[in-house]
Amino acid sequence: MDHLLSMKQLSKPDISGLLKRAGELKAGAPPALNRGYTVSNLFFEPSTRTKTSFEMAERKLGLSTLPFEAGFSSSLKGETLYDTVKTLEAIGLDALVIRHPDDRYYDGLAGRTSVSLINGGDGSGQHPTQSLLDLFTMQEEFGALEGLKVTIAGDVAHSRVAKSDRDALELFGADVRYLCPAEWRGDFDAADDWEDVLGDSDVIMLLRVQHERHGGGADFSHEAYHERYGLTEERAARMKKGAVIMHPAPVNRGVEIADSLVEDPRSRIFRQVENGVYIRMAVLESILKGRD
């Protein structure tokens, strides 16, 4: 694989192979890279988990990481993303991890650069490594993905996580359901009431309310949203035995999920963060080995 831009480009065997390798790396297997590589993380949107997770993965693989700060780059002077990538290609980088506010920013890059590209999130489009770590966490929990009932609740229309997870989970035969206000459904067939999905869900995945993408105004009430669409303590008490809680984070405590549930014994939120390091190691290793 030369690039990882979207979950749509991965086959079921591709995904299974990455999940398997992530499991091996988590169990302590050594990296399988034949030489040193240099990568850089180009984040044009704020990020804590994804950026630092890639940085830790790069360190664990023994890669050289060239610092890049979007706020001090020539993009502020009008340089295009393409020219930034071509500059880093000329310097000698092997791979770039890019997060960008534009949907499908990579359409103008793939095929026009020799640098390998990994999509760290594009606008409201895709977030492939987040989806892979979600699948890895579910597989670790349940042993298999086929037949799992996964409910994704929140701002699905603007969520790259919801889109990426839909593509991947349906490929593996999971039953994926959605819950959100009507105005946030987009092209998803979503329920409007927890009673339609709560009782038989194996996984409840909460999503952050993305005010920055839909201009959430002053009329939005955190309390009203939590009461209607959030995972409250009362709803959590009615979850199926063995069901788990997930969230790609950052978490708005008391909005999409009750504060007390973030670190509940059923929560796998911080396990997702941990697993992200091993998934990103597996992705980087696969792409860089392919360059040889």
127 annotated to a ligand binding site: yes
For residues 137 and 237, membership in a common domain is answered with yes
For residues 38 and 166, membership in a common domain is answered with no
Contact between 238 and 201 under an 8 Å Cβ cutoff? The reply is: no
Contact between 214 and 184 under an 8 Å Cβ cutoff? The reply is: yes
211 annotated to a ligand binding site: no
> Which whole number is the average pLDDT over 264-283?
98
For residues 94 and 201, membership in a common domain is answered with no
Q: Is the peptide bond before 250 cis (omega within 30 degrees of 0)?
A: yes
Chain segment 65-109, per-residue pLDDT in tens: 999 988 888 888 889 999 999 999 999 999 999 999 999 999 989
**Residue 218 pLDDT grade (very low, low, confident, very high; cuts 50, 70, 90):** very low
Task: Read off the tokens for 223.
Answer: 């309390």
**Residue 110 pLDDT grade (very low, low, confident, very high; cuts 50, 70, 90):** confident
Q: What is the pLDDT of residue 219?
A: 62
Residues linked to residue 203 through DSSP beta bridges, in sequence order: 150, 244
For residues 156 and 184, membership in a common domain is answered with yes
Q: What is the pLDDT of residue 250?
A: 94
Q: What range defines the domain where residue 150 resides?
A: 128-268
This prediction's pTM: 0.95
How far is 71 from 45, CA to CA, in rounded Å? 10
Show the CA angle centred on residue 168, arms to residues 165 and 173, nearest 5°. Answer: 115
For residues 159 and 228, membership in a common domain is answered with yes
128 annotated to a ligand binding site: no
For residues 144 and 247, membership in a common domain is answered with yes
> Which whole number is the average pLDDT over 103-122?
94
For residues 213 and 176, membership in a common domain is answered with yes
104 annotated to a ligand binding site: no
For residues 74 and 135, membership in a common domain is answered with no
160 annotated to a ligand binding site: yes
Count of structural domains, the chain? 2
52 annotated to a ligand binding site: no
Contact between 252 and 222 under an 8 Å Cβ cutoff? The reply is: yes
100 annotated to a ligand binding site: no
For residues 148 and 197, membership in a common domain is answered with yes
On whether residue 2 sits in a domain, the answer given is: no
pLDDT at 213 over 60: no
For residues 135 and 244, membership in a common domain is answered with yes
pLDDT at 217 over 60: no
- Looking up residue 193, the CATH number of its domain turns out to be 3.40.50.1370
Chain segment 158-195, per-residue pLDDT in tens: 999 999 999 999 999 999 999 999 989 888 999 999 99
On whether residue 17 sits in a domain, the answer given is: yes
How far is 196 from 3, CA to CA, in rounded Å? 39
Contact between 285 and 21 under an 8 Å Cβ cutoff? The reply is: yes
DSSP 3-state of 41: strand
48 annotated to a ligand binding site: no
On whether residue 59 sits in a domain, the answer given is: yes
